[in-house]
């Protein structure tokens, strides 16, 4: 699961803990909802719902910005510093 790593690299230190905990909480809620919905609908509709949510997630991943650490690894220091300043909660 790459989401906690992404949050750790992008989030401000004061928000890192709550965001990491929110990720785990949302995973647990998602499992509970899949059990709850699965008891009401047939397995085929549950599979279609899960596949459509995965598709939406994959499309939304296209607009997620790269982390400053990734840009530094690619040896693009200037872009990394300017990108770091545009992240929410960051001050120059």
Classify residue 91: in a domain, yes or no.
Answer: no
Looking at residue 83, its pLDDT comes to 62
pTM of the model: 0.65
pLDDT digits 0-9 by tens, 17-42: 888 889 899 999 999 999 999 999 99
Looking at residue 68, its pLDDT comes to 74
DSSP letter for each residue of 39-76: TTS-HHHHHHHHHHHHHHHHHHGGGPPPPHHHHHHTT-
Classify residue 92: in a domain, yes or no.
Answer: no
Looking at residue 47, its pLDDT comes to 93
Whether the Cβ atoms of residue 10 and residue 23 lie closer than 8 Å to each other: no
Task: Supply the range of the domain harboring residue 41.
Answer: 3-86
pLDDT digits 0-9 by tens, 51-81: 999 999 999 989 887 777 777 777 766 666 6
Classify residue 34: in a domain, yes or no.
Answer: yes
11: DSSP letter? S
Measured distance CA(17)–CA(33) in Å, rounded? 24
């Amino acid at each position: 699961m790459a989401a906690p790593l992404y949050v750790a690299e992008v989030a401000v230190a004061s928000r890192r803990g709550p965001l990491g905990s929110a990720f785990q909480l949302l995973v647990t809620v998602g499992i509970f909802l899949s059990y709850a919905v699965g008891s009401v609908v047939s397995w085929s509709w549950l599979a279609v719902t899960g596949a459509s949510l995965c598709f939406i997630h994959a499309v939304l991943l296209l607009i997620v910005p790269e982390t400053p650490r990734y840009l530094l690894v690619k040896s693009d220091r200037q872009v990394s510093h300017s990108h770091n300043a545009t992240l929410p909660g960051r001050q120059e």
